[in-house]
Structure 1
Amino acid sequence: MERCSLALLAPLLLASAPSALAASSTDLSVTGLITPKSCTPILSSGGIVHHGKVTVKDLNPDQPTQLETGTLYLYVNCEGATMFTLTTIDNREGSSAIDPHHHGLGVINDDQHLGSVAFGLFDAIADSNPVKTIMSSNDGASWRVSPYLGHAGLTAFAMPTDLGTPIAIKDLHTRLSAVTTIVRANDLTLTDAVPIDGHVTVQLNY
């Protein structure tokens, strides 16, 4: 009886409610990664590069002016050896006036981009061993030696004997260099004091 009833119900449903069987669909995925170890990044000096007061006469009128290089130290401490990469988020996105791969210093007078700041990582020590800073501009498909730290690529670290392979690290210590450049003074209206307003988030990715 059960088998006959099912066979009879099928044509009745098709006849009485044809729209119920017509549908479109799309897929939704929920993804993520639960890691057994966590890492904590720390920047010295509260993560602040302070250039103090810069006067108009300190700026070149017809070419960009590079300010004194700022130095901080970046520490990454993990619960155990962990594979991670570093990148940045430019919180002044779109205001970099020197190089789009660098970070902006904000906008003054409504539409004048003040300059750019570039970051590099040098003299890296990973678990008591000197290592090289490497970067990838193709989401990790390949790596090359470069001190670059920014939003245009991934930064990792490698042993000097294998520069194409990022390594897992427990404790990292590296010098962070900040090179700030102001656009030429002739391109700015500087009748009042204006802030150098770069703001960047350093992001650690597992």
Structure 2
Amino acid sequence: MKTRLTTLAASLLLLNSAATFAASTVDLTVKGLIVPSACTPSLSGGGVIDHGKISAKDLNPDKNTVIGNNTLSMAVNCDAPIQFALHSIDNRAASGSSIRYGLGFINETQVLGGYILTFANPVAEGGVVVQPIASGDQGNTWYREKFWDPGLYMSVAAMDDDTQPLAVKDLSLDLEVQTIINRADGLDLSNEVTIDGSATLEVKYL
């Protein structure tokens, strides 16, 4: 009898140990999708907008100053028609906002200003006019939008359906860039200030 009880106790101990071990595990899943096509984005002018030298006296003291409205030609060329999005990363995000890309700081504390991107006149291969759409949840849902805020996914859709991206082989568009300097009465402009905007625009396959 004693032997049976000892055996039963040992079995219960093993079961409890197994249950404890199982509760201390977690699953790891690695997943993804390799697509056969690749897309290459490009910008006219090497993607550089140079405003040159601007006199501090030409800046509005009590309101923002628009120092330039520029347009770059942007193209995305793919091996075959595919759904894709363009994702923006503000490399000066600390001096930017939810709607403006940053231009850096003065004295590490004063926000110099920002710039706004607009996705305009998109055309797919064959001259097909398409509409710009955006996603704020990494491509799960889409809506009609032309302003390319930092972090947004931008794509194009058929003119009669703004809920999903269109598979496109070649896309061309005008990337409009409006550069703004904050009101001058809050900035230290006693020395030269570098306008230092930088963003990375990358292709995301959907």
Pick the TM interval, shorter chain: 0.7 to 0.9
For residues 161 and 19 of structure 2, the distance between their equivalents in structure 1, rounded to whole angstroms, comes to 58
2:83 matched to which residue of 1? Answer: 83
> What is the distance in 2 between the residues matched to 1:166 and 1:10?
63
Distance between the aligned counterparts of 1:205 and 1:127, measured in 2? 19
Determine the structure 2 residue equivalent to 1:165.
164
SS of the counterpart of 2:202? Answer: strand
Find the aligned partners of 1:144 and 1:12 in 2 and give their Cα distance: 62
Counterpart of 2:173 in structure 1 is: 174
Distance 1:201 1:186 in 2: 31
Counterpart of 1:6 in structure 2 is none
Match for residue 104 of structure 1 among 99, 102, 105: 102
- 1:33-80 Cα distance to aligned partner (Å, 9 max, x none): 211111111111111111111111111000011112111111100000
- The residue type paired with residue 179 of structure 2 is T
Deviation at 1:20, TM superposition (A): 7.8
* SS of residue paired to 1:67: strand
- 2:166 & 2:185 partners in 1: Cα distance? 47
Paired position in structure 2 for 1:136: 135
CA change 1:202–1:150 in 2 (3 A) is farther
Is 1:187 the counterpart of 2:164 in the alignment?
no
Residue 49 of structure 1 contacts residue 71 of structure 1 at CA under 8 Å; is this kept in 2?
Answer: no
Provide the C-alpha distance between the structure 1 equivalents of 2:142 and 2:29, rounded to a whole number of angstroms: 30
Corresponding residue SS for 1:201: strand
Moved over 3 A (4+): 9-16, 18-22, 138-142
Q: Please give the alpha-carbon distance, in whole angstroms, between the structure 1 residues aligned to 2:164 and 2:17.
A: 56
The CA distance in 1 between the partners of 2:175 and 2:111, in whole Å, is: 24
Identity between Structure 1 and Structure 2 (%): 38
Letter in 2 for 1:122: A
- Secondary structure of the equivalent of 2:45? helix
Secondary structure in 2 aligned to 1:149? coil
The structural deviation recorded for 1:25 is: 1.3
Give the aligned residue type for 1:203. Answer: E
Deviations 1:74-101 (A, max 9, x none): 11000000100112011011202xx422
Contact 2:90/2:151 (<8 A) preserved: no
Distance in structure 2 (CA, Å) of the matches to 1:10 and 1:85: 62
Paired residues for 1:26-175 under 5 Å:
26-96=26-96, 99-128=97-126, 129-175=128-174
Q: Which runs of 5+ in 1 are unaligned?
A: 1-8
Deviation at 1:137, TM superposition (A): 2.8
CA deviations on 1:136-179 (whole Å, 9 max, x unpaired) are: 23444443322122334221111212233320100011010111
The alignment yields a C-alpha RMSD, in angstroms, of 2.3
Q: Which has the higher helix share?
A: 2
Show the counterpart of 1:199.
198
